[in-house]
Chains A and B, each alone.
Chain A
Amino acid sequence: MKSFSDEILMAYADGELDEVTRRAVEEAMHKDAALARRVAQHKAMRNDVFAAFAPVAEEAVPPRLAQPLRQATVVSLDSVRARREAEQQAARKASRGRRWSWPEWGALAAMLMVGVMAGHYGVGMLPGDRGETVASRDGVLVAQGRLATALDQQLAGSGGPVRIGTSFLAQDNSYCRSFITAQDMSGLACKQGGAWRVQLAVQSQGKSQQGEYRQAAADMPTQVLDAIDQRIAGQPLDAKAEQEAVQRKWQR
């Protein structure tokens, strides 16, 4: 009689065998009670382990787990950032050479949270801003409405609902501009394919004080400043270069 390894018997108990082997095992089980017992043991173990953890799936899911899936808001972006910063500090203390690059993660987090927010609030609307600011077009986040107008026309440092921080030419030869909206969302947009593609957006913690003029660039979160550093070719545009770029509609 053919003998079967423990792994084959286990696979039989788990329903993983092909037809031919399954039949061979069944035939052998009829003739060999010890073998049948081993199969029964494997089945019992599977049932016991499943039963031991089954009640967990019956428990009410804590709201904190479902919340990020239902309400992707600016607030949760902050909590993600706060958490990341805390972990970043812990990681710095703990070790070098982790598998993950935290700054990249942060930039990605900020970028994608905007995507999530845009999705959550329907047709390209971000919460808080009265006018639409960012929309997803073919999977790319694009500035819209008031933000797009400011990016097109406004000079750096001038006031208004949207403030422009720095304008510069990126290494890929496109123009990029950093911005802060009236709702303290800052980010970086680059003119590509005729649209302002939002490269990154971050919700800042503090609310801006109404009417008080501030140097926009000084308020830029480090994520945005880092994103500028990564892209910039040469120096930021001065006022004259900016004017010219506005006239050329930010096309090279």
Chain B
Amino acid sequence: MMDNDSALHEEIATLLPRLRRFARTLAWHREDADDLVQLSVERAILHSSSYQPGTRLDSWLFRIIKNAWIDEVRSRTRRSELFAPEEEGEHVGDDFAEAHQQRMAVQKAVSLLSEEHRLVVGLVLVEGLPYKEAAEVLDIPVGTLTSRLARARTALQEMLSEQARIT
């Protein structure tokens, strides 16, 4: 059991970049997202016996992150803090800056989605989970996941074309 534990910890360590990425789809600020990951890793260590070997470790960790987010981190993050400061439009025309701006625009649009929608977007579009896996992480039927994902995409599309129209 002890050897399994340290092997599991190693595996969790290799997933940290993805855990941070997923957390960023929920909490806008880097610090908040990393707090969320830290708390989740602590929980994962403490509850490591509830992980079933042979199942997807990433899904198990995403579920812990989701629960940690819903249980506590969310309540400590004021709504106004969820949003990014406005990006300044310097260096327009620079390819790199343009790609950066595009990414920021999408990140911002995601941050403006409802929580349900951010969760499905984070799991499926960012982390690439199959619908079935994502539905299991969220404890919802696949049909519900599919319709949420479709609505989230529509909302993103609208926000992004709105932004494009303004700028």
Interface range for A: 35 or more
Residues from chain A with Cβ under 8 Å of B20 in the complex: 56-57, 59, 61, 65
Interface range for B: 35 or more
Total A-B pairs, Cβ < 8 A: 120
Stretch in contact with the other chain, from A7-15, A24-32, A148-156:
A7-15
Q: Is A58 an interface residue (CB 8 A)?
A: yes
Q: Is A69 an interface residue (CB 8 A)?
A: yes
Residues from chain A with Cβ under 8 Å of B146 in the complex: 7, 10-11
Which residues of B are in contact with A by a Cβ distance under 8 Å?
A: 1-3, 5-6, 9-10, 12-13, 16-18, 20-21, 24-25, 34, 37-38, 41-42, 45-49, 71-72, 75, 102-104, 106-107, 110, 121, 124-126, 128, 130-131, 146-147, 149-150, 153-154, 156-157, 160
Which residues of A are in contact with B by a Cβ distance under 8 Å?
A: 6-7, 10-11, 14, 16, 41-42, 45-46, 48-59, 61-62, 64-66, 68-70, 72, 80, 87, 94, 98-100, 108-109, 112-113, 115-116, 118-120, 136, 138-139
30 contacts between A and B (CB under 8 A): A7-B147, A10-B146, A10-B150, A14-B131, A16-B131, A41-B157, A48-B102, A50-B126, A50-B128, A52-B104, A52-B107, A53-B21, A53-B24, A53-B107, A56-B17, A57-B20, A64-B38, A65-B16, A69-B9, A69-B10, A69-B13, A69-B45, A72-B45, A99-B71, A100-B71, A112-B49, A113-B46, A116-B45, A119-B5, A136-B1
